[in-house]
Structure 1
Amino acid sequence: MPPWTDAGAPELNGTVSGTASVDFVRPQLQNIEIRSRAGVLAPVLSKGITIRSLELFEAIVRLGSVVEAARACGLSLPAASQQISNLEMSLGVTLLDRSHRPLTPTPAGRLYLARVRDALGQLRRASAELAVPDVAHLTSLKLGMIDDFDIEITPDLVRALARNLENCKFSLSTRPSHQLLSLLAEGALDIGVAATPETAVAGTTQYTLLREPFVLVTPAGFRAGGSGADVLPQLPLLRYDRGQMLGRQIESYLARHRLCPPDRFEIDSNQSIMALVASGAGYSITTPLALIRAREFLSKVTISPLPLDPLSREIALYAREDLPGSIGSEMAASMRVIIRERLIAPMTGLAPWLDAEFRLIEA
C-alpha cells in the first residue's frame, strides 16, 4: 500500500480529473466521490461546471441578456448559450427564467447566484493577492491612494502587500486626487493612485486603471425632466468642493452647457452630500466610486445618466520612473482584479446601464 493511503488520506472511487471541490453545489456526480476512512469528504465538480460558466451566469443575471453577457465575457453567442445549457444540465435545475425580458434568475438561480458570487469573489481576491508585486527588496515604499478607494480597495491591497513588507519602511497616505498629484510632482510618493489630470505627471509612468461616468443622483422616486434650463432637477444642487478635481470637473461641465443652478451648497464631504440627497434636500452630480463609498444611502436615492452629453473621468496609478523592476505595472494589474470584484461588479449589478461606461482600462 502506498504511503499516502495511510489513515485519513483520501481514496478515489472512479476517475477524478482534479482536486478542486466546492461546498455550494450538489451536481450530478455520476458515482464519482472522494472518500476517506471517515466517509465522503466532498463532491467533485461535474464537467459542465466551469469558472467561465459561473462568470457567464453571473453576467447574464447582471445584464439581463445572454447577448450582452457573451460580449462581456468574450464569448460568441452560441458558445455562451452552450455554456449555460451545460451548467443547468450539470446541476439538474433551471437557473434562468427565459419567459421574460430581461432574463431573471429562477428561485433556484437566485440561491445559486449568491454562492457563485461568493466563490468568484474569493477566487478574484486570491488572484489579486498572488499578483501583488514582490516588494521585499525595497527598503522604503511611500504609497498614496485616492480617498475614493479608502473602503473597498486600499485595505485589500495593503493586506496583500504586508506579506512582503518585513524589511521595508512603509507609509500610506489617503487623500483627494489633487493633493496626491502634488505629492507625486514633489517626489514625496513612490506610487500614487489618483484621477488623471489634464497634463502628464512628470517623472512618473502612468498605468490607467478604470474609467467611470458621472451620474445624476436624486432622492428616491424623484423624476427629473424638462429641457433647456429645466434639464436639471428643480432641487438645490449639492456641489462638491470646487477646490477638488471632482468639483472642478463638474463645474466645467455645467458651464459648457450654460447651466447655472443656484450656488447654495458646496461641500467637501462625499458622505454628507449623499446623506442630504437621501433626505430629499437636493440632488448632486457624482460618480460610481463616490456612490459606493456611501452605499448605506443607495436605497434612498435614484441613479440616472446625465441628462445631456456624457462626462467621465479616469483613475490611474502613477509610479516613479526610477522604481526598480516592474512594480508599477504589477501593482496596477493586481488593483484591476480588486476593482473588478469590489467596485465594478456590485455597481453594475445595481445599475446595469453603467456596464458599458464603468469599466477597467487594461494595460
Structure 2
Amino acid sequence: MPAPLHKGLTLRGLEVFEALARTGSVAATAAELGMSAPAVSQQMKNLAQVLGVDLIDHSRRPMIPTPAGRLFLPRAEAALSALRSGQRDLTALDLSGLSALSLGVIEDFENEVTPRLAARLAEALSQCAFRLRTGASHNLVAGVVARDLDMAMCASPGAHPGGTTAYPILTDPYIVAVPQGTDMTGGLTGLSHLVFLRRDLTQVMGRQIETYLTRVQLDLPQRFEMDSNQSISALVASGTGWTITTPLSLLRAGRFAGGIDAHPLPDADIARDIVLLAGADWSGAIPAQIASLARELIEAHFVADAHARMPWLGHRFAVLGGD
C-alpha cells in the first residue's frame, strides 16, 4: 500500500518551492505566482515544517536549494509536471481544422522533445498532411520566411523577420564549459593553456558568442570552428579545449557530460531565446497551442536536469510563459 502523503503537504507549497528554487528570489516568485511576498515565505515555512527540513538556503543571494532541497526538487518538479500535463490533456490539442502543417525544430531537441512533440501532434493531426524538419536555427528561420515551413521552434534571430510572430518558449543563458577539474580562479584569461572551441558563425549561438567576446575585449585564436555540439563536447571532455555554450546544449553532451564542468559566464547575463516562429499566414490559437505543448515537454525533459546539475542557474534557465 502506498505511503500516505505528509499531512499539510499542498500543491501550492510545491509550486512555491519550484518557483523559488528557479528564481532565487521571494519577490520574483511572488510576482510570477500572483502572491504577496509574505505569503511566499509562509508557504516555504509551512513546507519546511511538514517535511522537517529546510529546502531553501535563505542566507544566499540569489537563494538556492539546500542539499535536501536539491534532492527533493526533481520529485516536486516531476509531480507538478504530471499534474500540469493531466490538466492540459483535459483540453485536448485541437488541430482538427488543419489540412497541412510543416514544422521545423532545432537539433537541440532531436532526442528528447521532438519525438514526443511529433507523437502528440500526430494524434491531433489525423486528417492532416504533416511535415517535420530538423536543422540549425538560421536555416529554419529562412524556411519560415520563404514559406517553405509554416512555423519553427528555433533560437530567436533577434529582430523577427517581417510578417512573422514569435511565441516565447525558453530562455537559455550562456555558460562556460571546461574540462572536469579545470581551475577557473583566473577567469577566461586563465584558460590560455586550452584551445577555445568556436561555434560555427552562421549559427545564432556563434554570432552571439562572438559579440560577447568583442564586448569583453577577449581576442582568442581562430583554430577550431564547429557546427557539431557533440564534437565540441568531446573535445572539452578530452581536455583539449573550452567553450561557451548553453545549458540546453550542455545537456546534450551525452556520454561526454561526465568530463565537463560548467560555470557561469563572467561579466555577462546574456542568453539565447528559444521561440516558436510562426509565418505570416499563421497566428492565434494554433501556434499558441503548439508553443504551449513545447514548453510542457521542455519543462519535463530539460529544466529539472539543468537545475540539478547547475543550481546556480536560478531563474536564468526557464520556460517562458506565453502572453
Please, what TM-score do these two structures have when normalized by structure 2?
Answer: 0.83
- Quick one: distance in 2 between partners of 1:319 and 1:290? 23
Distance across 2 between alignment mates of 1:78 and 1:203:
44
Residue 211 (str. 1) matches residue 211 (str. 2): no
In the other structure, the counterpart of 1:15 is none
Secondary structure of the residue that 2:308 maps to in structure 1? helix
2:38 aligned partner: 78
Please name the residue that 2:84 is paired with.
124
Aligned partner (choices 175, 178, 189) of residue 138 of structure 2: 178
2:230 pairs with 1:252:
no
Distance 1:182 1:246 in 2: 16
The equivalent of 1:26 in structure 2 is 4
> Counterpart in 1 of 2:118?
158
Distance 1:99 1:225, change over 3 A: closer
In the alignment, which of 216, 237, 253 is matched to residue 294 of structure 1?
Answer: 253
Q: Which amino acid aligns with 1:26?
A: P
Shift of 1:270: 0.3
- Quick one: percent identity of the two aligned structures? 41
| Superposition RMSD in Å | 3.2
In the TM superposition, what is the alpha-carbon distance from 1:110 to its structure 2 partner? 7.6
- What's 2:287 paired with? 328
Select which of 230, 244, 249 maps to 1:271: 230
Q: Which of 332, 341, 349 pairs up with 2:300?
A: 341
Rg larger in structure: 1
Alignment match, 1:361? 320
**Greater RCO (Cα-Cα under 8 Å, separation 6 or more):** 2
Counterpart CA distance in 1 for 2:33 and 2:254 is 27
Q: Extract unaligned runs of 5+ from structure 1.
A: 1-22, 29-45
Matching residue's letter, 1:215 = I
Q: Deviations over 1:15-55 (max 9, x none)?
A: xxxxxxxx865246xxxxxxxxxxxxxxxxx5x23222123
Letter of the 2:218 partner, please give it: L
Whether contact under 8 Å (1:213, 1:358) holds in the other structure is yes
**Residues in 1 aligned to 2:34 and 2:148: alpha-carbon distance in whole angstroms:** 41
| 1:194 aligns with one of 150, 154, 158 | 154
Q: Secondary structure at the match of 1:238?
A: strand
1:145 and 2:122 aligned: no
Shift of 1:152: 3.0
User: Which residue number in structure 2 is paired with residue 55 of structure 1?
Assistant: 15
Segments of structure 2 that go 5 or more residues without pairing to the other structure are none
Amino acid at match of 2:199: Y
With the length of structure 1 as denominator, give the TM-score of the two structures. 0.75
- C-alpha change, 1:103 and 1:291, in structure 2 (3 Å) is closer
Deviations 1:108-160 (A, max 9, x none): x7876564343223223334555664111111110101111223322232222
Contact between 1:238 and 1:266, CA under 8 Å: does it hold in 2?
yes
CA contact (8 A) 1:131 1:333 kept: no
Cα deviations across residues 159-178 of structure 1 (Å, max 9, x unaligned)? 22122111111110011001
How many residue pairs get aligned? The number is: 318
Structure 1 residues 68 and 349: alpha-carbon distance in aligned structure 2, compared to 1, 3 A threshold? farther
Higher share in helix:
2
